[in-house]
Amino acid sequence: MTDVTTSIATLADNWPYSFQDPTRNTELRTLLSAFVEDFQLVNQSITELHTNQYIDTATGQELANLGAAIGLTREDGESDASFRYRLQVGMAVAASDGTAADIESVMAVAFGEDALDSITVEVATDAPELLFIVDPQRIDQVPISKDRLERRLTEAMPAGTGIQLIADNDVFTFRSDASNAEEYEAGFGEGVWSR
């Protein structure tokens, strides 16, 4: 915020010549000071209002108000970071129509854009369920529990389809390239098995 003296000088420069020296005219200086101080308060309030309307910058009660708009409430003692994360995922889920592109967008919000390349998607054979195989470190970075995240992400899926997040080092997936062969063992004479 600019100081009152600078703002008054700027205003005075735009007034007719006979009024441009506010030090000669103390009544003018008093009038300008009143306008400038109130303007600065209004400007500060508008900036705060603008800041509090975005999930990324809102805090405290303002963040809770944003959550209420999509039906999420803050739990007792929940941090702004955890609630903000739930809101971001919740907004992505609310915007999802269950298409592959929408689910990918939700996963990008949940784990970050750079995580999409490392997430393996499989289909469970015994249930209408998508299996997202995620690096355990990515799951550890999420500020909410894995179960809670699974429940939230399931809401983005088409009706009758579930989701399961697998973050276990013992999961096997078939890899088609051997770019990091020392970490993987070959299987069935082609490709590479990863563990």
The pLDDT tens digits for 106-117 are 888 888 887 766
Q: Is residue 57 part of a domain?
A: no
Tens digit of pLDDT for each residue in 48-78?
Answer: 877 767 778 787 888 888 888 878 888 888 8
Q: Are residues 48 and 117 in the same domain?
A: no
pLDDT above 60 for 192: no
Buried b / exposed e across 14-26, counting CB within 10 Å, b at 16+?
Answer: eeeeeeeebeebe
Q: Is residue 103 part of a domain?
A: yes
Q: Is residue 11 part of a domain?
A: yes
Q: Are residues 113 and 174 in the same domain?
A: yes
Q: Is residue 65 part of a domain?
A: no
The lowest-confidence range among 8-17, 91-100, 161-170 is 161-170
Give me the residue label for tokens 């070959």.
Answer: 186
Q: Are residues 102 and 192 in the same domain?
A: yes
Tens digit of pLDDT for each residue in 131-152?
Answer: 677 777 887 888 888 788 888 8
Q: Are residues 45 and 115 in the same domain?
A: no
Q: Domain span at residue 135? A: 98-195
- What's the domain count of the chain? 2
Q: How far apart are the first and last CA of the chain?
A: 57
pLDDT above 80 for 184: no
Q: Is residue 88 part of a domain?
A: no
Residues of the chain above pLDDT 90, percent: 0
